[in-house]
Structure 1
Amino acid sequence: MSADRIQCDEVKGMVREGSKKRMSFGFCLDQLKDPLLMIQPGAKPETLRNPLKQAGGKPPMAWGTYVADSEQMEMICEQAPNAVLQQLKRFLKAGKPKVNVLFYDDGGNLLDSLKPENTDKSRKNLDARDIEAHGIDAKAVLPLKRRLKRIGSRIGLAPGPLELKLKRAMARTIRHINEGRLQEAETLVLVIERAIAALGKDREDEAATMRRGQRESDQRSLGAQVKRAQALQAHVARAPGPARDRLTRAVHVAARLLKQRDLNGARDAMDKIEKALATLV
C-alpha cells in the first residue's frame, strides 16, 4: 500500500480521496521545519510512521484516519499532540479546503475545527462554472449545466428572500451534480426554473418550463434505455437458435418504440426480454 505526500496545493485532492473511501494520514515536520503530510488508503495510520521518517520527518507526529463528503472532512486523530495538531490545521488552511474540517480524538471528542474561508460568500456565488463532475458521463451533465447557465443570471431578479433561497438551491444543485446525484440535481433545477417563471422573470411561462424540463428528462431517460436495448441485443445474440429469432424480433419492437419516444412501451418490452433471457440461463 503506497503512501503519498500531500503538498499544500493538493489538499482539495486529499478531500476528494476521503470522499471515496476511508483514508489514513500522518503528519509531522521535517528536518527543515516544513510540514510533511502523507496519506494512504485504509485504517492503519500507524504504518505511515516509517514513510514519514524516510521522507525526513521527525517526532512529534500526528496520525489517524479521515473521511469526507461535500460538507465536511472528519479527521479522527489516534495520536495528535496539540502543537502538531495546530501545525496540521495551519497547513490545511493554507491549502484552502472547500469543506469544514473537524478534528476528533479516537474517543469521538471534538478537538478543533477549521472552517473554509468565505463559506457563505462562496456558497451564494456558486454557478455552473463550479461544476466539477469528475468521472461522470459528460453527456448526462451537459444539459443540466446548460440549464444552470440559463437561470443563473435570472436568480438575481428575484426579490431578496427568494433570491437567497434560489442561490442556496443552486449551490445544492451543483453539489449534487459533483457527487453524481443527477436525478436530485434535475429536480432542484426544475424547482428553480418554475420559481423564476412564476415571477415572470423568464421568457417562458411556468407551463412551458415544465414541458421543457420534462423533455430534457425524457431525453436523458431515452439515452439510458437505448443503452439498455443495445446490451440486450448482445445477450440475445448468444441465445440458442429458436429463442434467438424470437427475442431478436422483440428487441426490434423495443427499438421501434424508442424511436417513437414511447419510453413506457419500450421499458415493458425490454422487461419481457430480460425475463425470457433469464429462463434460458
Structure 2
Amino acid sequence: MCADRVNGDDVRTMVREGAKKRMSFAFCLDGSKDPLLMIQPGKKPETLRNPVKQAGGTNPMAWGTYVVRDGEMEMICEQAPGKMITALKKFLQRNRPKVNVLFYDDGGNLLDSLKPEGESKGQADVDDVSATGIDASAVAPLTRRLKRIQPRIALAPGPLELKLKRALSKSVKLINAGRLQEAETLIVVIERAIARIGKDRESADKSMRRGQREMDQRSLGAQVKRAQALRANVARAPGPARDRLDRAVHVAARLLKKRDLSGAQSVMDRIEKALTTLV
C-alpha cells in the first residue's frame, strides 16, 4: 500500500481522496520541527509509522483515519497526543482545506475542530444584536432566549454544534433586519435541537411552550398598540359613528385582556374597515 507525504499544496488533494474512501494518516514533526503528514488508503494507520520514521519523523506521533462527507473532514485519532493534534490543526489551517475539520478520539469524543478560513467572518453572536429602530420590547425576549441557549450550543456534538452556531448567527442577523417572526422560528428550532440531545434543563415540549408564550406576549403587545392607534382614530370620527366604534374598541380591549388575540384582531379589522368608509 502506497504511503504519500502531504505537503502544504497537497492538503486539498488529501481532502479529495478522503471524499472517495476512508484514508489512514500519521502526523508528527521531523528533525527540523517541520510538519510531516503522510496518508494512505485503508484503515490501518499504524502501518504508517515506519514510512513516517523513514521520512525523518520523530515522536510523539498522531495517527488514525479520516473521511470527508457533507463538507466535513472527520479525523478519528487512534493515537492523539494533544501537542500533535494542535500542530496538525495549525498545519491544516495554514493550508486551507476548505472544509470543516473535526478531530475525534477513537471513542468518538470531539477533541478539536477547524473551520474554513472566512467562515467565522460575518458569523454573528448574541453580542451583535443591534436592532436599531425596532421595538425594544419585541427584541428583548428574543435576545434573552439567545443568551440562554448560546452557551449550551457548545455542548452539542461537533457537527451539530457547527450547524447550531450558524443558525444562531442567522437568527441574530434576522433580528437586526427586523424580521422577528423568522428569527423566532429559527430560535425555536435551536431550542428544540438542544433539548432533544439532552443539553438543556428543559424538554423539547417545554421549550416549545415557553417559546409560544413569548411569541404570544410579543404579539399581544403589537395588538395593544394597534388598539390604541384605533382609539385615537375613532376619537376623530363623526358623532354617531364615534360612539359605536368606541364601544367596539372597548370590546377589543376586553378580548385582549383575556388574551383572545384572534377575537380582538377580528373586532379591530371591522373597526378599521368602518373607519375607511368614513373617510
Normalised by the length of structure 1, the TM-score is 0.56
Percent identical among aligned pairs is 71
> Is 1:164 matched up with 2:162?
yes
Secondary structure of the corresponding residue to residue 151 of structure 2 = helix
Q: Which runs of 5+ in 1 are unaligned?
A: 1-117
| Amino acid across the alignment from 1:223 | G
Q: Distance in 2 between matches of 1:258 and 1:137?
A: 20
Q: Distance in 1 between matches of 2:246 and 2:130?
A: 41
Q: 1:129 aligns with which of 127, 130, 133?
A: 127
Q: Distance in 2 between matches of 1:181 and 1:238?
A: 33
Q: Distance in 2 between matches of 1:223 and 1:138?
A: 11
> Is 1:235 matched up with 2:233?
yes
Give runs of aligned pairs for residues 1-281 of structure 1, distance below 5 A.
119-123=118-122, 126-281=124-279
How many residues are treated as equivalent by the alignment? 164
Normalised by the length of structure 2, the TM-score is 0.57
TM superposition shift of 1:279? 1.7
TM superposition shift of 1:122? 4.1
Q: Which runs of 5+ in 2 are unaligned?
A: 1-116
TM superposition shift of 1:162? 0.8
Q: Radius of gyration: which is bigger?
A: 2
| Amino acid across the alignment from 1:120 | E
TM superposition shift of 1:123? 4.9
TM superposition shift of 1:135? 2.1
RMSD: 1.6
TM superposition shift of 1:235? 0.9
| Amino acid across the alignment from 1:234 | A
> Are the equivalent residues in 2 in contact too, given 1:127–1:149 (CA < 8 A)?
no
Could you list the per-position Cα deviations for residues 109-148 of structure 1 after superposition, in whole angstroms to 9, with x for gaps in the alignment?
Answer: xxxxxxxxx6323456x32111122222222111111000
